[in-house]
């Protein structure tokens, strides 16, 4: 995936796609910063983490832009999110996520809210990068109540 990121950067330069190039450069910079800050190895898992953080930041921005009624900024930010999504593994549907959560509940057998950590740990291992973990957390919390 990291090689694909480099290839896409060159492709975006040649095609003079400024928006796509800007997003790819931001991801590469954030990736390098994460690698240096946390002394992590440069691999696909790190790329997935960085891309997820970038998407989360942009979703938060969209929420703020909606409050300010800035549709121009919302559209631009959504385009950036669409570019970033290409660097994540294929996202699971809500039904697929629910099936996996059902399996986790069958394995862990949580007895209430106190077992949220155990369930989330298993969910993180199986679903990280494949779906929005905030939504997973909400789904698990609802089932535990």
Looking at the predicted structure, is the pLDDT value of residue 31 above 90? yes
Tell the CATH topology of 2-85.
Answer: Hypothetical Protein Yqey; Chain: A; domain1 (1.10.1510)
Q: Where are the domains of the chain?
A: 2-85, 94-144
Query: Rounded CA gap, 76 and 84, in Å?
Result: 13
What digits encode the pLDDT tens for the residues 60-81? 999 999 999 999 999 999 999 9
Instruction: Determine the length of the chain.
Output: 145
Looking at the predicted structure, is the pLDDT value of residue 133 above 90? no
Lowest-confidence segment of 9-18, 74-83, 109-118 by average pLDDT: 109-118
Looking at the predicted structure, is the pLDDT value of residue 38 above 90? no
Decide if 128 contacts 136 (C-beta within 8 A): no
- Give the burial string for 84-94 (b: 16+ CB within 10 Å, else e): beebbeeebee
pLDDT confidence band for 98 (50 / 70 / 90)? very high
What 8-state DSSP symbol labels residue 69? Answer: T
What digits encode the pLDDT tens for the residues 79-91? 999 999 999 888 8
Decide if 122 contacts 108 (C-beta within 8 A): yes
Query: Rounded CA gap, 125 and 127, in Å?
Result: 6
Architecture of domain 94-144: Orthogonal Bundle (1.10)
């Amino acid at each position: 995936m990291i090689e694909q990121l480099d290839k896409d950067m060159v492709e975006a330069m040649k095609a003079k796609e400024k928006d796509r190039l800007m997003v790819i450069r931001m991801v590469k910079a954030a990736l390098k910063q994460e690698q240096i800050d946390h002394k992590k190895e440069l691999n696909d898992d790190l790329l997935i983490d960085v891309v997820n953080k970038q998407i989360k930041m942009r979703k938060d921005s969209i929420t703020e832009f909606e409050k300010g009624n800035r549709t121009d900024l919302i559209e631009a930010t959504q385009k950036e999110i669409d570019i970033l999504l290409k660097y994540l593994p294929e996202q699971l549907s809500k039904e697929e996520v629910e099936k996996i959560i059902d399996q986790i509940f069958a394995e862990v057998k949580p007895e209430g809210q106190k077992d949220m950590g155990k369930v989330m740990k298993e969910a993180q291992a199986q679903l990280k990068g494949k779906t929005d973990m905030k939504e997973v957390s909400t789904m698990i919390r609802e089932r535990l109540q």
